[in-house]
């Protein structure tokens, strides 16, 4: 068994330096070839609690990282590097070989399926909002944003942008920021009426805000706003992805997995069910 280590890279620019040191050999290899040769598998993620984020020591935390590492371990791979970047840099960074797998808790969407390959679903993910205490503009779903003439803030590259536009929210009413910290800051400061993201993330922001914001009821969201999260790969690494999916099938929902992800709020209701990535790519 290969030795286990994690190497944290604090920003995308640093990640480029790490890659540059080995570019001559790694770029010519497929992920399967690299892994079988004992080279590090680099997992890329943004600071998206509770999906994926760096711990105080730089180690990869969050339920998507835990699941990915668990699956890789089941496959026999334990030499893993953690590469943190901004959300908007995940797909470009993957395709630029800055890392090998995206573990950021990314929803599977048709637009993303055009650019990368996803694993089979690992979680069912609903959207949610954070709002001022008491929800003064009565925001519960994307349509209500229009009714209230509200400003929505969300992360650059988040699926919430497409969902809001699909509900008729004008682009001028959608503020884009780097990630959750900035979403919370915009709502707290009154620069936005609602912060949008996955319910997992919005609930965590609300719980950590000392009462300055609250999370809305996720059941008010329309069924079509529910998504499935997957783990991202380069399309050229389909052979590795096939092996990964085989291990994923045995791992997801297992007693060991459920125990490992419980601390992040992942429960039986979060399991992906029988939906396939092929279906999700065609319908989301």
Give the pTM. Answer: 0.74
Tokens standing for residue 148: 């209230």
Which of 189, 204, 225 terminates a domain? The answer is 225
Contact 128, 198 (CB under 8 A): yes
**Does any domain span residue 2?**
no
What pLDDT score does 225 carry? 77
Tell me the C-alpha distance between 206 and 197, whole Å. 12
Tokens standing for residue 41: 């598998």
The range of the structural domain enclosing residue 42 comes to 8-124+229-283
Task: Indicate if the pLDDT at residue 12 is higher than 70.
Answer: no
Which of 191, 225, 259 terminates a domain? The answer is 225
One domain for residues 68 and 172: no
CA-CA-CA-CA torsion sign (202, 207, 209, 212): positive
Tokens standing for residue 282: 């065609």
Tell me the C-alpha distance between 60 and 79, whole Å. 13
What pLDDT score does 1 carry? 41
Plot region of 181 (φ>0 → left; ψ -120 to 50 → alpha; else → beta): alpha
Quick one: what percent of the chain has pLDDT higher than 70? 90
**Does any domain span residue 52?**
yes
One domain for residues 100 and 144: no
Tell me the C-alpha distance between 258 and 162, whole Å. 31
One domain for residues 88 and 181: no
pLDDT, one tens digit per residue, over 13-60 is 344 334 444 444 445 689 999 999 999 999 999 998 899 999 998 899
What pLDDT score does 105 carry? 84
pLDDT, one tens digit per residue, over 221-258 is 877 778 899 999 999 999 999 999 999 999 999 999 99
The DSSP H or E segment spanning 123 is: strand 123-125
What pLDDT score does 217 carry? 87
**Does any domain span residue 49?**
yes
One domain for residues 219 and 83: no
> Helix, strand, or coil here: 177?
strand
Tell me the C-alpha distance between 197 and 178, whole Å. 12
Task: Indicate if the pLDDT at residue 280 is higher than 50.
Answer: yes
Cβ atoms within 10 Å of 34's Cβ, excluding its own:
22
**Does any domain span residue 1?**
no
One domain for residues 236 and 105: yes
**Does any domain span residue 3?**
no
- Quickly tell me which residue has 């992800």 as its tokens: 261
What pLDDT score does 249 carry? 96
**CATH no. for residue 195?**
3.40.190.10
What pLDDT score does 28 carry? 61
DSSP 144: H
Task: Indicate if the pLDDT at residue 170 is higher than 50.
Answer: yes
For residues 124-145, give the mean pLDDT.
Answer: 95
One domain for residues 18 and 33: yes
What pLDDT score does 243 carry? 98
pLDDT tier at 268, thresholds 50, 70, 90: confident
What pLDDT score does 174 carry? 98
Q: How many domains does the chain have?
A: 2
Q: What is the DSSP string of 233-263?
A: E-GGGHHHHHHHHHHHHHHTT-HHHHHHHGG
């Amino acid at each position: 068994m290969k030795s286990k280590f994690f190497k944290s890279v604090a920003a995308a620019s640093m990640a480029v330096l790490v890659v540059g040191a080995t570019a001559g050999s790694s770029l010519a290899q497929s992920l399967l070839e690299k892994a079988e040769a004992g080279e590090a598998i680099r997992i890329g993620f943004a600071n998206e609690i509770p999906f994926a984020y760096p711990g105080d020591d730089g180690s990869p935390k969050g339920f998507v990282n835990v699941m990915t590492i668990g699956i890789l371990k089941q496959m026999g791979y334990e030499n893993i590097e953690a590469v943190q970047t901004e959300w908007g840099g995940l797909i470009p960074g993957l395709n630029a070989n800055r890392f090998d797998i995206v573990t950021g808790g990314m929803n599977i969407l048709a637009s993303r399926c055009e650019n990368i390959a996803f694993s089979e679903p690992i979680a069912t993910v609903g959207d949610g909002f954070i709002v001022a205490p008491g929800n003064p503009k009565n925001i519960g779903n994307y349509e209500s944003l229009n009714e209230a003439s509200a400003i929505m803030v969300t992360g650059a590259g988040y699926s919430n942008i497409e969902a809001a536009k699909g509900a008729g929210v004008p682009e001028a009413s959608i503020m884009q920021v780097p990630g959750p910290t900035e979403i919370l800051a915009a709502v707290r400061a009154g620069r936005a009426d609602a912060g949008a993201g996955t319910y997992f993330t919005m609930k965590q922001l609300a719980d950590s805000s000392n009462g300055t914001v609250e999370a809305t009821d996720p059941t008010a969201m329309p069924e079509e706003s529910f998504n499935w999260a997957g783990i991202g790969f380069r399309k050229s690494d389909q052979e590795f992805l096939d092996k990964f999916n085989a291990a994923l099938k045995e791992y997801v929902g297992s007693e060991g997995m459920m125990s490992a992800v419980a601390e992040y709020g992942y429960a039986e209701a979060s399991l992906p069910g029988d939906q396939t990535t092929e279906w999700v790519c065609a319908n989301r």
